[in-house]
Amino acid sequence: MCNIETEKGIKKEKNMKSTIHTIYTACICLLSCMAMASCGQEDTANMETEQNNVMQFRIAHPSQQQAAPVSRATETNFETNDRIGLFVCEENEPLQVGGNYVNNASLTYNGTEWTPTRPIYWNDGSYDVYAYYPYHSPILSTDEMEFRVAADQSTAGTANAVGGYEASDFLWASAKKQTAGNDAVALKFKHCMSKLTVRLIKGEDYEGDELPQDAEVFIHNTVPNATIDLAAGIATKTLYGTEATLKAKAAGNNRYTAIVVPQRITNRRPLVEVVMRGVSYLMESTFVFKPGMHHLISLTITKNPEQVKIEIGGEIENWETTEE
């Protein structure tokens, strides 16, 4: 009798222990699930916070800010693999070569958006943002950054490098008092150099049905070197710079175009030369190349190279518009 009661007690004790173990296990599982859910929510919150703290940029080429239609694909927008340089400073702090919040970061265009080499995160406070194109490294000065337009701007771009004309078109943008938020930093670029378009017109006594499409156009006696103030977006001709000759890029419809450093040519001298079928047509003139302006010159080609008719047109702020 005692043995039977003892066995019943042992079984009862085992059942209680089993029940307690089951309840304990269930509690552990419940706590684990709650912890995992909490961690998942925390990770999601952290990811959302991190995403909101990443600097985003809305970048506009100068052509995208004009109402008039554009004429050439290379001037309508940035192209895939184009790179811009980016500086970020605390508000009202001077832009320096180093010591800024962001120092000359490279952003690359993939055809849809601009991506930095590594993410740039917001910090507390307000910031001033500066950007420029094309990208250069290293930069030794931010108030006198050295820049040179290409001597041969007729060279075409490759998969790894932009053409001579595009590499000469220095662009600049800034955005002040920027803070963390959902809005992307809007950077609206402007042209810092001067653009010259030479239009060739067939004269009445010109021998031939049409003007040849393989003419060469040269811009003489301009200084190709400049210094750029990256905080203000101002290009200045290098003092005592050596004058050189630039070869213009064919733009179609008997037009040739070149990027020129802003400068004033005060003495009358050879400025534009057109070489066509072995014959040289020369234009001498004074000229003022203004920053951000598109200058137009029309040359009427006649039988006698000494009697070229010259017409200097107006100044157009919209580079991408070409008058017919």
Does 202 or 9 have the greater pLDDT score? 202
Model-level pTM?
A: 0.80
pLDDT digits (tens, 9 = 90+) for 280-324: 999 999 999 999 999 999 999 988 878 778 888 777 876 865 544
Spatial CB neighbours of 186, under 8 Å, sequence gap ≥ 6? 58, 60, 175
Handedness of CA 317, 231, 134, 234 (dihedral sign): positive
Residue 12 has which token pair? Answer: 């009862």
Identify the domain boundary among 150, 175, 191: 191
Identify the domain boundary among 191, 216, 232: 191
Number of domains forming the structure of the chain: 2
Does 189 or 158 have the greater pLDDT score? 189
156 and 116 together in one domain = yes
111 and 180 together in one domain = yes
Q: Out of 139-148, 180-189, 233-242, which region has the weakest mean confidence (pLDDT)?
A: 180-189
Does 12 or 214 have the greater pLDDT score? 214
- Per-residue model confidence (pLDDT) at position 72: 34
- Per-residue model confidence (pLDDT) at position 42: 46
186 and 206 together in one domain = no
pLDDT digits (tens, 9 = 90+) for 257-281: 999 999 999 999 999 999 998 889 9
- Mean pLDDT of all residues belonging to the chain: 84
Helix (H, G, I), strand (E, B) or coil at 11: helix
64 and 156 together in one domain = yes
- 159 vs 5, 82, 163, CA distance in Å? 92, 10, 10
Rg (CA), the chain: 33
Handedness of CA 316, 234, 227, 187 (dihedral sign): negative
Question: What number is the average pLDDT over the span 190-196?
Answer: 97
47: exposed, middle or buried (C-beta count within 10 Å: 0-12, 13-18, 19+)?
exposed
Q: What are phi and psi of 238, to 5 degrees?
A: -60, 125
175 and 68 together in one domain = yes
Question: Cβ–Cβ contacts within 10 Å for residue 169, how many?
Answer: 23
138 and 228 together in one domain = no
Q: How many helices (H) does the chain have, and how many strands (E)?
A: 2, 20
- 142 vs 55, 98, 133, CA distance in Å? 22, 10, 14
Domain that holds residue 262: 194-316
What whole-number distance in Å separates Cα of residue 77 and Cα of residue 83?
Answer: 13
Q: Out of 5-9, 84-88, 259-263, which region has the weakest mean confidence (pLDDT)?
A: 5-9
Reduced 3-state DSSP string for 169-209: CCEEEEEEEECCCCCCEEEECEECCEEEEEEEEECCCCCCC
170: exposed, middle or buried (C-beta count within 10 Å: 0-12, 13-18, 19+)?
buried
Residue 286 within any structural domain of the chain:
yes
Question: What number is the average pLDDT over the span 244-264?
Answer: 96
- The CATH code of the domain that includes 157 is 2.60.40.2620
Does 4 or 141 have the greater pLDDT score? 141
Asked if the model's pLDDT at residue 79 lies above 80, the reply is: yes
- Per-residue model confidence (pLDDT) at position 13: 54
Contact 300, 318 (CB under 8 A): no
Q: Which amino acid is at 99?
A: G
Contact 285, 268 (CB under 8 A): yes
- The CATH code of the domain that includes 204 is 2.60.40.2630
Asked if the model's pLDDT at residue 174 lies above 70, the reply is: yes
- Per-residue model confidence (pLDDT) at position 178: 95
pLDDT digits (tens, 9 = 90+) for 8-60: 554 555 555 555 555 555 545 555 545 554 444 444 434 444 556 899 999 99
Percent of the chain scoring above 90 in pLDDT: 61
Q: Out of 42-51, 101-110, 247-256, which region has the weakest mean confidence (pLDDT)?
A: 42-51
